[in-house]
Structure 1
Amino acid sequence: MSTYARRRLEQEFKELVKDPPPGIFGALRDNNLMIWDVTICGPDDTTWQGGTFRLSLEFNEDYPHAPPIAKFHSRMYHPNVFEDGTVCLDILMNNWNPVWSSPFLLIAIQSILCDPCVHSAANFEAARLFDTDRRAYNKRVFEIVELSWKSENLPFN
């Protein structure tokens, strides 16, 4: 059955594959349009450079009126990522707008890697360290980047 959500997701997924944003790659999980497996590369010239981070977007039939659930499956140390990998981003929680596309959301997630919102933190320790000891925070991020290269950190779970 074709719903508005599925038609829109099909269009957005084609856009993502045809013209992906720099450092963002996506695939459907088990050919299921409602679950996307995505790899986000850490932006160049940042502490996150060289990292390859796996996350999923899970949509429901209310999309685009309801946001997807974005969850990292790579280990993360970031103020806006909960311990279970769920992304805490204002546009996913309180300020979702149906005009935003999934590729737009993925760019926003990639951009918060370097520009976290520490005032609405999901990981309070990471937010505190980001604010008070940037050198120690960057050291933890570099450890996460190195972990992202290991094969056991790659599969989705």
Structure 2
Amino acid sequence: MSTYGRRRLQQEFLELVKAPPPGIYGVLRNNDLMIWDVIICGPEDTTWEGGIFQLTLEFNEDYPNAPPIAKFLSTMYHPNVFEDGTVCLDILLPNNWSPVWSSYYLLIAIQSILCDPCINSAANFEAARLFDTDRRAYNRRIFEIVDLSWKPFN
């Protein structure tokens, strides 16, 4: 990683630690600047409220010119999360990523899609269909996911 990329990543991590967005907390995995373990709390006054979701951000040597990989470790049921936990978000696509965006911004975007999924670019088609056609059934699934989020390493 270039000196600039490393400095920027250090600065972004310090910003996350010193002034985290509401409901988002992060630590380095094994003091490795390239892998962040993040907790994202479900936003208040939403179906996701009370959930504690584990996520990793893995940066590569090309950061900030290439996006990190964002992956939930917690069990998720969401239109924009693949079965393996990988987050499907337009700004994470290499052609859409911009060095202007920061990991701080990315984490806020991931937290916000919990409540406002993009069903047009779904990673989980069943969740997208349920969100679109039967919101009550979808919300029941989310309540189950929130309950599961309290179990370690689900």
Q: Does 1:103 align with 2:93?
A: no
TM-score relative to the length of structure 1: 0.95
Q: One-letter code of the match for 1:73?
A: L
Cα 1:59–1:152, aligned 2, differ >3 Å: closer, same or farther?
Answer: closer
Count of residues in Structure 1 that have an aligned counterpart in Structure 2: 153
> Deviation at 1:84?
0.3
Q: Is the 8 A contact 1:3 1:61 kept in 2?
A: no
Give identity over the alignment, percent. Answer: 82
- Unaligned regions of 5+ residues in structure 1, if any? none
Secondary structure (helix, strand or coil) at the match of 1:37 reads strand
Q: What is the CA RMSD across the aligned residues, in angstroms?
A: 1.1
In terms of mean alpha carbon deviation, does 89-98 or 64-73 score higher? 89-98
Q: Does 1:118 align with 2:119?
A: yes
Cα 1:139–1:16, aligned 2, differ >3 Å: closer, same or farther?
Answer: same
- Taking the aligned partners of 2:2 and 2:118, their CA distance within structure 1 comes to 37
Q: Is the 8 A contact 2:2 2:61 kept in 1?
A: no
Tell me which stretches of 4 or more aligned residues in structure 1 moved more than 6 Å: none
> Deviation at 1:80?
0.1
**2:133 paired residue number:** 132
- Taking the aligned partners of 1:42 and 1:90, their CA distance within structure 2 comes to 21
Q: Is the 8 A contact 2:17 2:26 kept in 1?
A: yes
> Over residues 43-63 of structure 1, what are the superposed CA-to-partner deviations in whole Å (9 max), with x where a residue is unaligned?
000000000000000001100
In terms of mean alpha carbon deviation, does 37-46 or 91-100 score higher? 91-100
**2:69 paired residue number:** 69
- Taking the aligned partners of 1:27 and 1:77, their CA distance within structure 2 comes to 24
Q: Is the 8 A contact 1:12 1:103 kept in 2?
A: yes
TM-score relative to the length of structure 2: 0.97
- Which residues of 2 match residues 3-82 of structure 1 at below 5 A? 3-82=3-82
